[in-house]
């Protein structure tokens, strides 16, 4: 029983500095522009997004996945510098078109803001996460993407005084064990 208490003291010091991520599932509607996911990101956080689904554009039969398609850029697209007909994202405070900061490109060569089917980057700015389908005309779009969004806060190391505190707790636990005669398990 005492060994369990000792191991708990040590674990408390290690786990005290672990950053836990939060995960949200969000539906990105194909007929809407920037959509607030309700997810806040702080500079230095790790942002991971996995997206499935398809959006029908130019009905009746043309579909796109979050990864886009033919790797082309359309100056009339919502985010002209990112792969057209793909999932794009930004960090900002409102849904206005040219506000906020586009996400770092998820795949090299796909343009700033490109998220695609799978995204995993450290985010350099703080704010709300917005996602959109990168198209030039939204009124004829149907369907949606389902994005699973995970934000893992940047690890904040405990200050040295905290570690020394955990060390003292561990030493006190050991001292109590040995002062009672033996280390019991």
Residues 13 and 27 in one domain: no
> 55 and 30 in contact (C-beta within 8 Å)?
yes
Residues 65 and 84 in one domain: yes
φ and ψ at 168, to 5 degrees? Answer: -65, -40
Determine the pLDDT at residue 155: 79
Residues 122 and 174 in one domain: no
pLDDT, the chain, mean: 81
Indicate the pTM of the whole model: 0.74
80 token code pair: 């002209």
Question: What's the domain count of the chain?
Answer: 2
Residues 140 and 98 in one domain: yes
Residues 124 and 61 in one domain: yes
Q: Which range has the worst mean pLDDT, 19-33, 54-68, 110-124, 160-174?
A: 160-174
Residues 10 and 86 in one domain: no
Band (pLDDT 50/70/90 cuts) for residue 176 is low
**Residue 169 belongs to what domain range?**
1-18+157-185
Q: Looking at the chain, which runs of residues are DSSP E strands? A: 22-29, 35-41, 46-57, 62-64, 87-92, 101-102, 118-122, 127-133, 142-152
Residues 183 and 114 in one domain: no
Residues 134 and 179 in one domain: no
Residues 139 and 164 in one domain: no
Residues 66 and 27 in one domain: yes
- Residue 90 neighbours by CB distance under 10 Å: 24
Band (pLDDT 50/70/90 cuts) for residue 125 is very high
Q: 28: domain CATH number?
A: 2.60.120.430
CA distance to 72, 133, 162, per residue, from 115 (Å): 15, 10, 38
Determine the pLDDT at residue 159: 60
Residues 26 and 117 in one domain: yes
Across the range 44-68, mean pLDDT stands at 91
Residues 181 and 113 in one domain: no
């Amino acid at each position: 029983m005492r060994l369990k208490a000792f191991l708990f003291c040590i674990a408390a010091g290690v786990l005290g500095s672990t950053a836990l991520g939060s995960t949200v599932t969000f539906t990105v509607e194909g007929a809407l522009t920037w959509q607030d996911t309700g997810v806040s990101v702080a500079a230095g956080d790790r942002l991971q997004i996995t997206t499935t689904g398809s959006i029908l554009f130019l009905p009746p039969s043309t579909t796109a996945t979050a990864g886009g398609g033919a790797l082309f850029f359309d100056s009339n697209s919502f985010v002209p510098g990112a792969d057209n007909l793909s999932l794009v994202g930004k960090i900002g405070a409102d849904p206005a078109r040219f506000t906020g900061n586009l996400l770092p490109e998820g795949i090299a060569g796909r343009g700033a803001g490109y998220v695609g089917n799978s995204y995993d980057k450290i985010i350099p700015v703080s704010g709300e996460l917005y996602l959109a389908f990168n198209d030039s005309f939204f009124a004829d779009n149907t369907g949606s993407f389902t994005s699973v969004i995970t934000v893992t806060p940047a690890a904040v190391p405990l200050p040295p005084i905290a570690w020394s505190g955990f060390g003292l707790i561990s030493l006190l636990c050991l001292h109590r064990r040995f002062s009672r005669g033996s280390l019991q398990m």
